[in-house]
Structure 1
C-alpha cells in the first residue's frame, strides 16, 4: 500500500493493474478549463480526469446561505459517488498526479483520507518527473467498471472558522498558511477580496516542501522546516487560500512523520469574507 508518495517507475509497473486507479488533477485557478484541456492533449495511460471545481469541491454557499470559501469540501456522499464512478473499491490503490508539484493532487490525497481510504499516493514530481523518465502520455480515455468504495472512519481532521476565532486569544492551535509570502503579507492579493492573513498564523509556502526538481524534500529536511513553526503537530492547523494547497503541507507533514495536523477547509477565502473577523498584514 502506498500512502504518501509514489515514484514514476513504480506507477509505470501498475498502469494496467485492475486494483489501481490513476487520477489526473491538473488545474489552473485563473483558467478553469486548463486542466481538462491538458488532459485531452495527453495524460498517463488509463488515467481519469478529476475536476477540482465540480468533483473535488462542494457548494460555495452552505445551507445557511453563508459563504464557505472558494473550494469547500464536497458532500461526503457525493464524493463517494464520484469515486465509485472512477472505479474505486475498498482495496483500490489510488494515485493522484498533476503538473504543479502536487499542488492539486495533494487535495485528492487528503480527500481520500478524509473518507477513510488510506491507499492513496501522490506521484512525486508529477508529470514532469514522468516525462523526464521517458514515459509516454496518451490520449485514449479509460473505461473502468463501477467501484463500490464505502465511507470508513476518517483519517483526517478539520477545524472551523468559529474554532479559529475562539483560538485568537491565547488558544493552543498553531495556524500555518500555505500561500505565497506576498499574499500572506497582504501585498499582492489577486484572488480574494481582502489581503493579509489570520492573526497569529505563520507562513509556510507549499513550494518550500519541494526540491529544485519538483520532488518532495526528505523526511529530515521537512521535519526540520516544520519544527520552526509549531511544537506539536496534533495542535497545528494548515490553511491556504481555499483549502487546496494547505493539503500539500499536510502531505509534507506525513512525510516528515509529523501526523495529526488539521485542515481549515474554508481557509482565507472564507475567513476574509466576514468583515467581523480580524485581518493581519505584514510578517
Structure 2
C-alpha cells in the first residue's frame, strides 16, 4: 500500500483492477485549465476532479477561498468513481503536487489510507516513457465507506485561541514575499498570522519538480528554527488550505507524521479585520 508518494514506475506496476487515478490538474488563474488538459491527454484510467467543484465546498465570504468540501458529498463522489476499501488511489497534477496533495489529504481525512501522490506528476510519467490517452474510463461505482480520519484539522477559533495560549505552531506554505505581506495578489490583506513560521511548499521539491528524498526532507524540517519536535504540535496553513497540504505530505513522507491542517488559512483569517496581522519576517 502506498500512503504518501509513488513513482511513475511503481504506479505502472500496480494492478489496474485495484487502482484508481485522480487527475487534479488546475490553475488558480484559469479554473477551466484542468478539464481542458484532461481532455487533451491524461494518464490511462484517470478520472478528473476539479479543485473548486469537487475538492472544495461553498464559500460564504468568511470561510476562505477553498473551504473543505462536505464529507458526505465527497464520499459519494468518490464512491461513484469506484473508490472502495481495497482500491489504491493515486492523485496527480502538473504543479508540484499542490492540487494532488489536496486530494490526498481529503481522502486521508475520510479514512482512506491507500492514497498517494504521483511524484513528479504528469511530467514524470511521460519522462518514464509512459503515454497519455484521451479515453475517458467508465466508472465502477461502489459504496465509499468512511473510516476514522488519519489527519486532523483545526479551525479558526482554535488558531485565535492559540495566540494567547500556544498549543501548536503554524507553518505557512506561501512564498516568503506573501508571508511578509509583499505583493499580495490573492487576498485583500497582506501579511501572516502572528507567530507563524514560513516554509514555502516549493522548498520540498527538487529541480526536476519531484519531492526531495525522505531523509533530506526530514533533515530540513527538523532543522527548521522554532518547529516543535513533536509533529502533532505542527499545524499547516497557506492562502486557502491547498498548498499547505504539500508541506503536510512532505512531513508524512519524511516520517514526521501527525501534523494537522488549518483549512481556512490566510484567506479566512484576514476576512475578519478584528483578527491580528503580522508583516515582515
Same fold? TM cut 0.5: yes
Q: How do residues 1-283 of structure 1 correspond to structure 2 at under 5 angstroms?
A: 1-14=1-14, 17-61=16-60, 67-227=62-222, 228=224, 229-231=226-228, 232-283=230-281
Aligned pair count reads 278
How far apart, in 1, do the equivalents of 2:182 and 2:5 lie?
34
1:192: how far off? Answer: 0.7
1:149: how far off? Answer: 1.6
Runs (5+) with no aligned partner, structure 1: none
Structure 2 counterpart SS, 1:107: helix
So what's the TM-score if we normalise by structure 2? 0.97
1:170: how far off? Answer: 4.3
How far apart, in 1, do the equivalents of 2:142 and 2:57 lie?
21
How far apart, in 1, do the equivalents of 2:206 and 2:263 lie?
26
Deviation >2 Å, runs of 4+: none
How far apart, in 1, do the equivalents of 2:21 and 2:214 lie?
25
So what's the TM-score if we normalise by structure 1? 0.96
CA deviation string 1:6-48 (max 9, x = no partner): 110121223x612110010000011000111111111001101
Aligned CA-pair RMSD? 1.1
How far apart, in 1, do the equivalents of 2:220 and 2:192 lie?
20
1:268: how far off? Answer: 0.5
